[in-house]
């Protein structure tokens, strides 16, 4: 048994000696092969990084999520992300409101005071596009030849308008320094679009400002119609709730008070208050519907003005 294992050990020893001798004889050749293998691997990695898209390490900004920018509290949100990878055409739609109190999303924004800067990560270093106003508070950033392998785009919004409430003439050097420091901290709304966050549209083409504006008001009308539908559904639920409360109130009124009339009256009054509150909600919902219908009529008038060219928008600005 021991002879068997000695034979096996001797056999492996001979093989190892042969391998070491062959390596010494061909050391230069093996080292050169290893060197060129590293060079080829590095080259392939560089080519892969530059030719093929890779995920971004920055989170994608969700649609219809408001971001504050400027010192007046303007709110910007991205509402659409379209891309045609074959032609490189891309369209990103944005909506800007004066503040969160603008419930109708119908602010009048001076786009001449809104500055937009776009930067790309991996691909699209030379961005050819335009910033196009499409309504009183919406705009489109349109690209003609966006690199199909781009990783992400960053849109930075800056409000150049003056907020008089923040203007102060300093009366000392200390006040002046503090003012300069405060100005450097102005909020800059940033919206990030990752490659995996765009919707591929194979037939997407560049459109002129007139068509983009018409599309914007089509979307505005659609939003108002959805608002009407939501309020109509809410009214139905309120009406059902009133029916349920009335039945509950009737049952309660027919119940004996068990010697505690004050307690029963308190419950009755509470139900009546709830009924009044629900009725007020129905009134508000009806007012919302009336307002949305009026807004739709106004938007339709604007559509006519766009078609005739009487609705004025800022000329597109090239990036």
Same domain membership, residue 71 and residue 147: yes
Domain boundary among 147, 172, 207: 207
**CA 202/CA 208 separation, integer angstroms:** 18
- Shared-domain flag, residues 85 and 37: no
Shared-domain flag, residues 261 and 144 = no
Q: Looking only at Cα atoms, what is the longest distance across the chain?
A: 112
- Residue span of the structural domain in which 249 resides: 222-318
Q: Give a yes or no: residue 59 inside a domain.
A: no
Token pair 């919302």: residue? 288
pLDDT confidence of residue 104: 61
Q: Which two tokens stand for residue 268?
A: 């009755």
Residues 95 and 200 in one domain: yes
If asked whether residues 293 and 165 sit together in one domain, one would say no
| Alpha-carbon span 69 to 107, nearest angstrom | 15
CA distances from 2 to 8, 13, 285 (A): 10, 16, 97
Whole-number pLDDT of residue 57: 66
The answer to whether residues 282 and 237 belong to one domain is yes
Q: Are residues 37 and 115 in the same domain?
A: no
Residues 187 and 288 in one domain: no
Residue 245 CA to residue 239 CA, distance in Å, equals: 10
Q: Are 83 and 123 in contact (CB under 8 A)?
A: no
264 and 200, same structural domain?
Answer: no
Domain with residue 121: its CATH number is 2.60.40
> How many Cβ atoms sit within 10 Å of the Cβ of residue 148?
16
Has residue 215 been placed in a domain? no
Q: How far apart are the first and last CA of the chain?
A: 84
Tell me how long the chain is: 319
Contact 94, 78 (CB under 8 A): yes
DSSP 26: T
Q: Is 189 found in the same domain as 122?
A: yes
Domain count of the chain? 3
Q: Between helices 27-51 and 2-25, what is the axis angle to 10°? A: 70
User: Residue 138 and residue 154: Cα distance in Å, rounded?
Assistant: 18
Does a structural domain hold residue 217? no
Beta-carbon contacts of 198 under 8 Å, excluding residues fewer than 6 positions away, are 81, 82, 83, 90
- Answer yes or no: do 146 and 122 share one domain: yes
Q: Is residue 56 part of a domain?
A: no
Cα 319–chain centre separation: 20
Beta bridge partners of 276: none
Low-confidence stretches of the chain (pLDDT beneath 70)? 1-12, 14, 16, 18-35, 41-57, 99-105, 122-126, 164-168, 172-187, 257-261
Using DSSP's 3-state secondary structure scheme, residue 104 falls into coil
Residue 73 lies in a domain: yes
Spatial distance between the Cα atoms of 6 and 12, rounded to a whole number of angstroms: 10
Between CA 195 and CA 175 the distance in angstroms is: 46
The angle subtended at Cα 112 by Cα 131 and Cα 120, nearest 5°, is: 35
Residue 4 pLDDT? 63
The interaxial angle of helices 261-308 and 209-253, nearest 10 deg, is: 170
- How many C-beta atoms surround the C-beta of residue 316 within 10 A? 16
pLDDT computed for residue 43 by the predictor: 66
In this predicted model, what pLDDT tens digit does every residue of 201-239 receive, in sequence order? 888 999 999 999 999 999 999 999 999 999 999 999 999
Could you tell me if 150 and 256 lie in one domain? no
292: exposed, middle or buried (Cβ count in 10 Å: 0-12, 13-18, 19+): buried
Q: Is residue 214 part of a domain?
A: no
């Amino acid at each position: 048994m021991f002879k068997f294992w000695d034979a096996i050990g001797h056999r492996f020893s001979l093989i190892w000696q042969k391998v070491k001798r062959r390596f010494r004889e061909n050391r230069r050749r093996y080292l050169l092969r290893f060197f060129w293998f590293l060079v080829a691997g590095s080259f392939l990695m560089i080519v892969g990084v530059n030719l093929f898209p890779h995920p971004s390490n920055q989170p994608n900004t969700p649609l219809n999520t408001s971001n504050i920018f400027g010192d007046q509290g303007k709110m910007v949100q991205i509402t659409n992300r379209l891309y045609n990878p074959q032609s490189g055409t891309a369209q990103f739609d944005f909506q800007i409101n004066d503040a969160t109190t603008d419930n109708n999303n119908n602010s009048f924004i001076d786009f001449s005071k809104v500055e937009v800067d776009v930067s790309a990560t991996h691909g699209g270093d030379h961005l050819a596009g335009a910033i196009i106003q499409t309504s009183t508070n919406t705009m489109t950033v349109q690209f003609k030849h966006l690199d199909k392998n781009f990783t992400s785009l960053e849109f930075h919004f800056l409000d150049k308008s003056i907020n008089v409430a923040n203007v102060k003439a300093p009366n000392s050097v200390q006040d002046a320094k503090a003012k300069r420091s405060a100005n450097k901290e102005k909020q800059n709304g940033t919206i990030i679009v990752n490659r995996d966050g765009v919707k591929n549209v194979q037939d997407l083409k560049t459109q002129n400002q007139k068509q983009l504006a018409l599309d914007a008001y089509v979307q505005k009308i659609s939003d108002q119609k959805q608002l009407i539908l939501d309020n109509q559904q809410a009214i139905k639920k309120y009406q059902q709730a009133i029916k349920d409360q009335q039945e509950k109130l009737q049952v309660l009124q027919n119940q004996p008070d068990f010697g505690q009339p004050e307690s029963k009256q308190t419950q009755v009054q509470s139900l009546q208050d709830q009924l009044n509150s629900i009725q007020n909600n129905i009134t508000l919902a009806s007012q919302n519907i009336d307002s949305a219908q009026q807004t739709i009529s106004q938007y339709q008038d604007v559509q006519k003005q766009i078609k005739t060219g009487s609705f004025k928008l800022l000329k597109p600005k090239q990036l």
